[in-house]
Amino acid sequence: MARRNNSQGTPATAALTAAGVPFVLHPYTHDPSAASYGVEAAEALGIDPSRVFKTLMVDVEGRLAVGIVPVSGTLDLKAMAMALGAKKAAMADPAAAQRRTGYVLGGISPLGQRQPSPTVLDSSALGLETLLVSGGRRGLDIELAPADLVRLTDAVTAPIGSLAAGNLRA
């Protein structure tokens, strides 16, 4: 995979470049009226939604964590909690998510976060050659190998995604 390094620099791209990880930037024009940032990215880029992953900040028994699931599905909060050895999880307060990561909602990347959090990547990613995650701002996705994402975020993998309209692979 080619490494494209241009004026799209974000903390996420800086982290990838510093680690020597190959990646491809996928910029697109963000529509502020889009109902779902992840689905918007998949549609704008013409990429299968099962390959485009969303980064969600979760409160797991009082500590923030990152769940990464395909935009074609939803995050199973109970499975997320279990993956981190807990019993309960809830979506994090948006303001807390932005403070913790240094990114705006709709642009939260699992890479280059201000304060890294425990991270869980949905196990469906392991069957993909590459996947896309937010590049650290709305209108920018990064394509990279799942193994590189796991290594750079120190993620564990677990089946934390739930089916949405039958699109998410188990």
Spatial distance between the Cα atoms of 25 and 2, rounded to a whole number of angstroms: 10
* pLDDT over 70 (residue 103): yes
In a domain, 1, yes or no: no
Spatial distance between the Cα atoms of 85 and 129, rounded to a whole number of angstroms: 29
For the ranges 2-11, 25-34, 58-67, 69-78, the lowest mean pLDDT is seen at 2-11
Domain residue limits at 134: 11-162
From residue 149, alpha-carbon distances to 13, 50, 54, 87 in Å are 12, 16, 13, 26
**pLDDT classification of 164: cutoffs 50, 70, 90:** low
CATH number at residue 143: 3.90.960.10
Question: How many other CB atoms are found less than 10 A from the CB of residue 52?
Answer: 24
Closest CA to 16 of 136, 165, 138: 136
In a domain, 2, yes or no: no
Return the DSSP state at 110: S
Q: What share of the chain is helix, strand, coil (3-state, %, to 5)?
A: 25, 30, 45
The count of domains in the chain is 1
In a domain, 122, yes or no: yes
In a domain, 51, yes or no: yes
Give strand ranges (E) for 15-114: 24-27, 53-60, 63-70, 74-75, 89-91
Percent of the chain with pLDDT over 90: 78
pLDDT in tens, 60-76: 999 999 999 999 999 99
In a domain, 3, yes or no: no
CB neighbour list of residue 98: distance below 8 Å, 6 or more residues apart:
104, 105, 108
Closest CA to 44 of 28, 58, 59, 32: 28
pLDDT in tens, 131-156: 999 999 999 999 999 999 999 999 99
Closest CA to 23 of 36, 39, 10, 42: 10
Question: How many other CB atoms are found less than 10 A from the CB of residue 98?
Answer: 17
In a domain, 73, yes or no: yes
In a domain, 168, yes or no: no
In a domain, 5, yes or no: no
